[in-house]
């Protein structure tokens, strides 16, 4: 048995390359089904976030196909353009990478909190699809436990360590704009979180709702709402537009934006694939940020010091995983 992984992330490829791997749940189900048709593969887990797409595979020792090629083939994506923009790891390097990832030290925003939830969701979806074998289950369990230990013992879990708070900082830095009204497109988890943070910081925030989903919506306290179909009309009253949906199409299009009388000066796109037509940055006096443009944290001296402590914690959970593997293999010999 062997564990292998491959992935593409913000360090290896820009957002216009990465967004080709944004899967809906229905697409993910088909991808898992296609991967598991290979009898040499015992299990697989896919992590898909705005910053990365990674595939983890438990397989036969002599399985020699590039795991990223496996993912591309299963998703109906041509592997050729990605040959030089992905990384592959095997054996011990896989669990070490996964632990570091769950801890947030591989993130574009150092120590961010959302990644641990994304790792949990990835193994949960794989389990739901009956795609995770026991080796992957235990490996992910140990990585999540390592991340929780790091978060509880080292100062990584400040509120500022998230893309939402990075977006907030960009807004606060616009000192000359006198920002008052902000439109948030999207009422999913990210949209609600962004709306809450804006309201907590004294901004008037309006969140879009889709009419056919009104009965199922959770609206943040003190938030205004507008029907999604009226978003362009609402933009006339707003200084900033933030979009955070799972839509495969643009929620802000150049053609429609140019039709409104007063265009907001600041646009922040928190989605992958992108929600906002990137060509709008060519309009005069318009600023547009996407998840890459929000910027990666530099590794500070404080981060470097924390990293030593993180590695010590991770090593313990890697050892625990090895012990479990030896125990399981021992059972197989009885």
* Residue 190 marked ligand-binding: yes
* Residue 188 marked ligand-binding: yes
Residue found by looking up tokens 């998703």 in the block: 75
* Residue 160 marked ligand-binding: no
Give the phi and the psi of residue 110 in degrees, each rounded to 5: -55, 125
* Residue 118 marked ligand-binding: yes
Residue found by looking up tokens 């179909």 in the block: 229
* Residue 19 marked ligand-binding: no
198-206 own/partner pairs: CB under 8 Å, 24+ apart: 198/168, 198/171, 199/223, 201/168, 201/172, 203/171, 203/179, 204/180, 205/181, 206/181, 206/182, 206/234, 206/238
* Residue 107 marked ligand-binding: yes
* Residue 69 marked ligand-binding: no
Q: Specify whether 50 is catalytic.
A: yes
* Residue 306 marked ligand-binding: no
- Name the region of 12 (left: φ>0; alpha: ψ -120 to 50; beta: rest): alpha
102 cis-preceded (ω within 30 degrees of 0):
no
* Residue 186 marked ligand-binding: yes
* Residue 50 marked ligand-binding: yes
* Residue 189 marked ligand-binding: yes
H helix intervals, the chain: 15-18, 25-35, 67-75, 92-103, 114-128, 134-153, 163-172, 189-200, 231-235, 254-257, 301-333
283: which 2 tokens? Answer: 């309009």
Could you say which of 50, 72, 103, 238 is catalytic?
Answer: 50
Q: Supply the DSSP symbol for 273.
A: S
Q: What's the start-to-end Cα distance of the chain, in Å?
A: 17
Asked whether the CA dihedral 243, 249, 254, 259 is positive or negative, the reply is negative
Cα–Cα distances in Å, from 197 out to 61, 165, 223, 240? 48, 8, 11, 14
328: which 2 tokens? Answer: 């399981």
Asked whether the CA dihedral 90, 73, 108, 203 is positive or negative, the reply is negative
Q: Which residues are known binding-site members?
A: 49-52, 107, 112-114, 118, 186-191
Binding residues for NADP(+): 186-191
Annotated binding site for substrate: 49-52, 107, 112-114, 118
Which residues are tagged catalytic? Answer: 50
């Amino acid at each position: 048995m062997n564990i292998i992984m491959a992935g593409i992330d913000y360090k290896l490829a820009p957002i216009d390359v990465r967004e080709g791997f944004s899967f809906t749940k229905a697409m993910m189900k088909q991808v898992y089904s296609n991967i598991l048709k290979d009898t040499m593969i015992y299990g697989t887990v896919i992590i898909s976030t705005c910053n990365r797409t990674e595939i983890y595979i438990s397989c036969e020792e002599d399985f020699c196909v590039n795991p990223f090629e496996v993912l591309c083939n299963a998703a109906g994506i041509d592997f050729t353009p990605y040959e030089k923009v992905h990384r592959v790891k095997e054996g011990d390097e896989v669990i070490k990478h996964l632990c570091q990832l769950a801890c947030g030290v591989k993130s574009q925003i150092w120590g961010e909190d959302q990644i641990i939830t994304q790792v949990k969701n990835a193994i949960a979806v794989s389990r739901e699809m009956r795609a995770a074998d026991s080796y992957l289950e235990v490996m992910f369990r140990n990585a999540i436990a390592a991340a929780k230990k790091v978060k509880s013992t080292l100062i990584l879990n400040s509120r500022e360590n998230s893309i939402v708070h990075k977006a907030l900082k960009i807004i606060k830095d616009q000192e000359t704009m006198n920002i008052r009204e902000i439109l948030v497109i999207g009422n999913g988890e990210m949209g609600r979180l962004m709306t809450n943070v804006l309201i907590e910081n004294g901004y008037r925030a309006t969140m879009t709702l889709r009419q056919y989903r009104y009965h199922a919506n959770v609206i943040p306290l003190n938030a205004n709402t507008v029907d999604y179909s009226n978003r362009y009309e609402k933009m006339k009253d707003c200084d900033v537009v933030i979009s955070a949906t799972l839509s495969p199409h643009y929620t802000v299009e150049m053609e429609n934006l140019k039709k409104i009388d007063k265009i907001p000066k600041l646009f922040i796109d928190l989605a992958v694939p992108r929600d906002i037509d990137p060509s709008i940055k060519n309009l005069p006096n318009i600023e547009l940020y996407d998840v890459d443009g929000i910027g990666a944290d530099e590794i500070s001296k404080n981060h470097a010091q924390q990293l030593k402590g993180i590695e010590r914690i991770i090593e313990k959970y890697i050892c625990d995983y090895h012990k479990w593997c030896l125990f399981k293999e021992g059972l197989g010999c009885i």
